[in-house]
Amino acid sequence: MKITKQFTDNQKRHGIALIWVMLLFMVLIGIAGLLIDLARIYLTAQELHNTADAAALAGSRYVSVYGDPNYPDARAKAQEYAAVNYVTKLPVNLDLNMGNIDLDPDENGNLAGDIVIGRYIMQYATDDDPDTEPFLVMSPSELLINKGANAMKVVARKDGIINQKLSLLFGPIFGIDDVGIRRYAIAFTYNASGAGLIALAHNPDQPGLLIHGTPYLNVNGGSIQVNSIDVDALTLKGQSIDINAQDINITGDFIDKGFDVGEDIVYNDITSSLNTGMPAEPDPYELLPEPVYSDAPEDDLSPKDPNTGEPMLLKVTTGETVTVQPGYYSMGIQNNGGVLIMEPGIYHLGGDTTKNVANGGLKILGGDLYANGVLLHIVDNGELYLGGNGHIEVSPYQSDPYKDFSIFQSRDNDNEATIIGTGDLDLAGKLYFPENHVEVQGNGDSIGTQLIAYTIGIGGTGEVIINYNGKPEPANKSYLVE
């Protein structure tokens, strides 16, 4: 009897152990299955993220030309790139979201918001204010009238709305058959229309653009580009500065002395983006040759000193009306209060190279200037000064290769140029100062269609208007920002 009882107890213990082994085995299978499903969820999320990245990068390149039939549609391009990115061996479909609504879908699957176009405001991305979201969604009407879209948000999903949810292999053991997964990306472009104002200086210790006083800088239709890599590449020094520009792109950084970059930078009434650490913009006219002229004495159109025969500064005095012809003026031209008429053509305006200070060139200290169809080439030791209190009217030269240029300061002339608006300044065309500083003040005046200089200062209390005539183009590059 004792042997039989011991055998029975052993059977019971073995039976209980077997049950525990089976339970443990089932738990291990469940954990292994859970880990497998978690791994599949992770990989699916990564694939969705990659899909969102690819679609946003592709579509954002075309947001600047949204609605233009000459270019691919930004939404369709994003949709196309998503469809060739397979997630769990299935293509990812995107809702075009023509209403451009940035919402999660409702219970009926409407308003999916997979593709959203808007403006990305870089200075808000590091702002701690919860009310300043960096991605600003634009309305369909704002997109069609070019309010400056520069970014696209793409949401890639497997959530049962457009693409089926991810089915789980072992989830049903725990009562979970599938899961919905979403990932998004935002891609950003800049300078889609081109830069209407470019500060070329690339030095590490020199600001490229200094805005001081209380001006309103209006780069109508284009961006501002500052190539300086200095920490103060763009210096905003004033209590009341307003800027209208598509973007402000800085290779270095900016310093704000009493200026609110969040409220006072706009583009067509929508907050604009101030972007630091951006690539430098090459001089677009670096390969444009200098205008050719002869500096031989017999070709000099400057008036001659009756006693010495040496060339002199051509002066226009109060009450005089003087008409001049294109050519070389070695001592330059100066208007002190009369009427100066410059016939169409190229004017090579120099100064006395024996003096240590800038002189000659073209100086409008008073009176009126009418110079239509001209290129003002500031050479030698000449200086450009447009000011006074009269009417100044300059329109650009109309023959290649200098078509649409009004001013070209020689690359070996680093004398500072000054343009002071008086409310009656109409300066059209491209203004090119590749190796010198330009100081500009406005009073509601048009300061060319493009201003390019080594360094630039904008000051005064009035409006400086650059009516840039660039046209939005698909961006060559786009950047992931979220």
CA dihedral 57, 61, 66, 69 (to 10 degrees): -120
Please report the sign of the dihedral spanned by the C-alpha atoms of residue 393, residue 396, residue 398, residue 404.
negative
Query: From CA 112, how far away is CA 82, in angstroms rounded?
Result: 15
H/E element holding 40?
A: helix 2-60
Q: 36-45, 58-67, 189-198: which has the minimum mean pLDDT?
A: 36-45
Identify which of 25-39, 194-208, 336-350 has the greatest average pLDDT: 336-350
Kindly tell me if the per-residue pLDDT of 7 is higher than 60.
no
Query: From CA 48, how far away is CA 53, in angstroms rounded?
Result: 9
Q: 145-159, 307-321, 452-466: which has the minimum mean pLDDT?
A: 145-159
Nearest to 445 by CA among 360, 397, 388, 402: 388
What would the pLDDT profile of 210-237 be if each residue is shown by its tens digit? 888 888 889 988 899 999 998 888 888 8
pLDDT band for 407, please (50, 70, 90 cuts): very high
Query: From CA 448, how far away is CA 431, in angstroms rounded?
Result: 6
The more confidently predicted of residues 51 and 5 is 51
Kindly tell me if the per-residue pLDDT of 376 is higher than 60.
yes
Residue 160 burial class via C-beta count within 10 angstroms: exposed 0-12, middle 13-18, buried 19 and up: middle
Kindly tell me if the per-residue pLDDT of 3 is higher than 60.
no
Q: What's the pTM?
A: 0.84
pLDDT at 436: 95
Mean predicted confidence (pLDDT) in 302-315? 90
What would the pLDDT profile of 292-303 be if each residue is shown by its tens digit? 998 888 889 999
- Sequence spans of domains, the chain: 11-84+93-188, 195-475
pLDDT at 61: 93
pLDDT band for 440, please (50, 70, 90 cuts): very high
pLDDT band for 472, please (50, 70, 90 cuts): confident
The most distant pair of C-alpha atoms in the chain lies apart, rounded to whole Å, by 151
Do you know the residue count of the chain?
482
pLDDT at 313: 92
pLDDT at 145: 80
pLDDT at 122: 84
Kindly tell me if the per-residue pLDDT of 104 is higher than 90.
no
Backbone angles phi, psi at 474, to 5 degrees: -60, 140
Q: Is 309 left (phi over 0), alpha (psi -120 to 50) or beta?
A: left
What would the pLDDT profile of 428-439 be if each residue is shown by its tens digit? 999 999 999 999
The more confidently predicted of residues 278 and 168 is 278
pLDDT at 12: 55
Q: Which residues contact 446 (CB under 8 A, 6 or more apart)?
A: 425, 426, 427, 428, 465, 466, 467
Centre a 10 Å sphere on the Cβ of residue 424 and count the other Cβ atoms it contains: 15
Structure tokens at 80: 């196309």
Mean predicted confidence (pLDDT) in 98-113? 69
E strands, 343-409, are: 345-349, 362-378, 384-386, 392-396, 405-409
